[in-house]
Structure 1
Amino acid sequence: MSANLLDRTIKLIWDFKGPAAAKTAEHYLVHLKEYVDKEELKYDIYNVEHVSSTHSLVFLVVAEFEMPQVRDSLKPHRGQLYQI
């Protein structure tokens, strides 16, 4: 495995839909921040994106080596490669 693979970052995404999507996403972000601090993750890159009035998402960027632990603990809906 090359060093390049170990340096990759993953954007984990949680989608929230419906009339309360924005408020739910903002609330979930609070818990993600707490998790990042508690687990001392390599990056502290996270945010909320409001896609529409009924769809918001929260994302957290993790180092690839951290992804299995975070995925198993927090159960994101999806993920994608992320460029810092």
Structure 2
Amino acid sequence: MRKLKLIWDFKGPEGIKIAEHHAIHLKEFIEAENYKNLTTGFEALNEFHAIAFLITPEEQMRPLRDALKPHRGQVAE
């Protein structure tokens, strides 16, 4: 089963804090909507670019993408 990573990019001096906060909202969404088998978090790519992400099985991607409007996506490693 292929997994996809939905990604939100945050840039600038506050990017890491914003990505961390966005990951909290993603976790709240997952719990409120009773989704299973999803992973969320954030990652600092450098001091001015961070991402929040959600990893989902491919078959659940479309409703999540449509509801959450990620900036981009990729196959999860």
Among all aligned residue pairs of Structure 1 and Structure 2, give the percentage whose two residues are the same amino acid.
Answer: 45
Q: For 1:75, which of 62, 69, 75 is the aligned residue?
A: 69
TM-score scaled by structure 2? 0.90
1:42 is displaced (CA, Å) by 2.6
Instruction: Report runs of 4+ in structure 1 exceeding 3 Å deviation.
Output: none
Query: How many residues matched?
Result: 77
- Aligned AA (1:68): R
TM-score scaled by structure 1? 0.84
Give the aligned CA root-mean-square deviation in angstroms.
1.1
Gaps spanning 5+ residues in structure 1: where? 1-6
Q: How does 1:1-84 map to 2 (within 5 A)?
A: 7-83=1-77
Higher gyration radius (CA)? 1
